[in-house]
Amino acid sequence: MIKNTKEIKGKDFDVTRSADEVRNLSFKNHICIGCGICESTCPVGAIDLGDVATNARAKVDVYFSGHDKIAQNINEPVDLQKVNVNEDKCVLCGMCSGLCPVDALVLTIDGVPIAEIDEYPSYNVYTIIDDDKCLLCQKCQNACPREAITIKRQLPNRVDLVTGEIEVNEEECINCGVCSELCPAEAIVVDPTTGQESIVIDKDKCVYCLVCKKVCPVNAIKAVCRSCSYGEYDLDPELAKVKGSAIIEDALCVRCGWCEGVCPADAVEVKKPFEGTLVVDQDKCGTCGACVDLCPCNALAFPISEGPGSRMEHVIASEEYCIKCGACANICPNEAITVTRTAIDNTPINSITWNKAFDALKN
């Protein structure tokens, strides 16, 4: 019959079935969030979730529990295999690919990903940064738990933001270097070497703050700032703008919403695949930190103690940034976390089996 082939590249792999059509299931370990949806969905039991519990352990070095600052066992960075597909069992149906919330598993048919084939479902998700509103502040880039955002920005030239005049009378200058040392813009270079003394002011750097003029012991510097007076009109506001754009690496983005949450300009819009709830049973929680390690959204954290005697919750969860992927609930050894999905936003499909698979995600 037709035998599948498997090609392993590090922790990534491809399972391929070649016939009149070529079906290829590719897995990317660095995109996988270890949620386990593929494992529970696979209709032929070909998928096993790897050991995801300790996967992210090395990325945080110190945890805070409710009582004490505990340095947990800090291991060497580990990057374990999160998902395994048995190529002898896999039938390349693509259900894991269709239901994977992050495109870590992607089925292609003759090179076309099923997300681009109308018959197959995909989640209605997006992350959009409105370039017109974006202030290029990089807050989203810093907050993104997946390092999926890059804000590329080009700063204006300093010379286009200020206006003024500055001259130094080199005959009066004693090359003491005081101006150079104080200049906040590092615009003045003084060579005090006997016999080859010099002073050079870089007008591209000078902001006309007049510190040099005020400090010069021999009044050798003449400078005036015109920015505050009529000089404003000499400046072109267009040239003062920060230019750039936001780049989202869609494959890495998990639609957690941190970027939207921290954006001061309301420039970001994130649409998540699932609606639902995340509940932590504080009595059952053993503060092992597996969930905190694994959460792809940085939605779980140990609270920071407010001081001696204060009672804290064991683990705090931020519903706002949770995508209800269920990775934490899967991994929790004490069954302290319950993730419930109440609504799934996916493109419509006709297949009864596939619809059942989506319904099964609502528990």
Partner 1 sequence: MPKHIASGLKYLAAVRLKDEGKSQQYIADQLDIDRSTVSHYFNGRNLKWNSIDVAKTITELSPADFLAMVKAVFEDADMARKIVLICKENNYDAMIKESCIGCGLCVNLCFMKAIKLDSLHAQIDSICCCGCYICKEECPTNSIKILEIEND
The footprint of partner 1 (CB under 8 A) covers: 1-2, 17, 19-21, 23, 43-44, 91-95, 109, 119-120, 349-354
- State the minimum distance, in angstroms, from the CB of residue 19 to partner 1: 4
- State the minimum distance, in angstroms, from the CB of residue 44 to partner 1: 5
Q: How far is CA 16 from the centre of its chain?
A: 32
Complex with partner 1: residue 44 or 242, whichever CB lies closer: 44
- State the minimum distance, in angstroms, from the CB of residue 110 to partner 1: 11
Q: Which backbone phi and psi does 239 adopt, to 5 degrees?
A: -75, -15
Complex with partner 1: residue 3 or 311, whichever CB lies closer: 3
Complex with partner 1: residue 21 or 238, whichever CB lies closer: 21
Complex with partner 1: residue 37 or 327, whichever CB lies closer: 37
Complex with partner 1: residue 20 or 266, whichever CB lies closer: 20
Q: Is 237 exposed, middle or buried (0-12, 13-18, 19+ CB in 10 A)?
A: exposed
- State the minimum distance, in angstroms, from the CB of residue 39 to partner 1: 16
- State the minimum distance, in angstroms, from the CB of residue 2 to partner 1: 6
Let me know the angle formed at the C-alpha of 146 by 140 and 150, rounded to the nearest 5 degrees: 45
- C-alpha–C-alpha distance, residues 81 and 249, integer Å: 22
Complex with partner 1: residue 277 or 353, whichever CB lies closer: 353
* Strands annotated E in 110-148: 112-113, 126-129
Distances from the Cα of 217 to the Cαs of 176, 180, 199, 206, 212, in angstroms?
9, 13, 15, 20, 10
What SS3 state is found at 17?
strand
- State the minimum distance, in angstroms, from the CB of residue 354 to partner 1: 6
Complex with partner 1: residue 301 or 349, whichever CB lies closer: 349
Q: Half-sphere exposure (CA, 13 Å, Cβ side) for 361?
A: 32
> What is the DSSP secondary-structure string of 269-280?
EEE-SEEEEEEE
- State the minimum distance, in angstroms, from the CB of residue 275 to partner 1: 25
Q: How many residues does the chain have?
A: 363
What SS3 state is found at 223?
strand
Exposed e or buried b per residue across 214-231, where buried means at least 16 C-beta atoms within 10 angstroms of its C-beta: eebeeebbebebbeeeeb
